Chains A and B, each alone.
Chain A
Amino acid sequence: MQVHDFSPSNGENIDDPDPIFHLPGLFWLVRVNDEDLQFGGDEQRTAVFKVRNQLLFDRFQFMGPGNVPMHITFDTTYQQQPGPPHIVVPSTNDPLSPFNWAGTIFTAAAHGTFSAVYDDGTFSVTGTMDSTLAPFEGTTLGHMGHERNGVFALGGQQGASPSRMAPHASRAVASSTRRRNAQLLLGGVVLGFGFVGGLIPREDGDPPTEPVLCRNSIDGATRPRGNRSFMKRPVNLPSSLHEHSAFSRASSRRLSRATNQSPGTISGMTCRPCLR
């Protein structure tokens, strides 16, 4: 079930005062069945996410008019990369900061397929995707693992300053979480998240993992982010749109080398015309 219709790249107002549609402030978010996410592979380091005929109301074309009822099928396999997890600790207690969260996170790769069909039958698309083809270079392309934020990021230490939380304290919290998850599993509550990250055993004798303190001095609250909407047709978008889109900037750079055309977008994805 789609949690929210809000897709800023599709032209909906971000701060709309409408208490029904925009009260949660969530967007692009869809609730799915727990069974849609399965874990497996060696040491449960693989997660397979399958959604079948998920009803969505979205706009395929960037800045296009009206939401379009559609059904999408999405099949993605996430794979933890070799190496120890990153123990993420909050580097600030600022609720607006992008670094106020904790977790045991692995770098990850992914691949999959998707298809989408307008319910009125006027448009359909199928495609494949792989993290090795992501339009970014020189950066980590994915993460997977166990995350805690908000009240859970304090690890039960309400009132403690997360910025002073030592890495070992975070590991202790993670260890506690693993034990708790294991208890849940033994209790018959099988939740996939327990298999990855949170349940990866780490012996006390393991070399300490460098904590990721995320002290990049950036202001996420004022940074423009990319649009991520599907484009129905190859179109040229106004250049002014790309000036505010990290996604589009990266896409434009790459695309300009290949086709000298501007990119477009579809929900959750950014699509560009491919000259063949």
Chain B
Amino acid sequence: MRRTALTLAGLFVALVAQSSWIPQKTLALAQEWIVPKPIAGGDFIPELGRHRAGIIHQFFPIAVSLGGDGEWAEPNEITDFNGFVAHVFMGGTAVDSQGNHYLVDVDNRVYQGEYIGTNGEHARGTFCEI
């Protein structure tokens, strides 16, 4: 039964992949490398305007008193991962082409290492969140 389901899923993807509305970058993505899997857990985002409520597969590793999940909450959004991770909150300033000034808050994360991809295969790569 499981094999049948997987086969049907693969067929569906294959059929969809023939559709012209699929962005080429997405097809290229699937063909070139192994896509990592997200962590199972994550934070809840309520319905906001144009998107429905749901879980995003990422935690906010900062003190609970500041609205986070705790300083030692999972910093990674990729699961079955083994490697380097860096995650630092930063602030700063910016100016745009019109001369408008901004204060900037940055939540930047970098991951490099081995992982088990969505197809079950072992892979290695470097990722960042921008």
A residues lining the B interface (CB < 8 Å) = 1-3, 8, 11-15, 19-21, 23-34, 36-37, 47, 49, 51, 54, 56-57, 63, 72, 74, 76, 78, 86, 88, 94-101, 103, 105, 108-112, 114, 123-136, 138-152, 177, 191-194, 196-198, 212, 214, 216, 218, 220-228, 231-234, 241, 244, 246-247, 249-251, 255, 263, 266-276
Contact = CB atoms under 8 A, between A and B. Distances in A.
Given A109-B88, A191-B113, A268-B108, A246 B60 contact: yes
B74 A99 contact: yes
Interface of B: 9, 12-13, 16, 22, 25-26, 28-29, 32-33, 35-46, 48-97, 100-108, 110, 112-114, 116, 118, 124-130
Contacts of B95: 125-127
A110 B67 contact: no
B130 A56 contact: yes
A79 B68 CA distance: 23
A269 B80 contact: no
A53 to B, nearest CB: 12
Question: Does more than half of chain A's interface fall in helix, strand or loop, or is it mixed?
Answer: mixed
B74 A100 contact: yes
Contacts, number: 391
B84 A134 contact: no
A270 B32 CA distance: 32
A221 B61 CA distance: 13
B112 A37 contact: yes
A1 B29 CA distance: 8
Of the listed residues A8, A98, A109, the one surrounded by the most CB atoms of chain B closer than 10 A to its CB is A98
A223 B69 contact: yes
B55 to A, nearest CB: 6
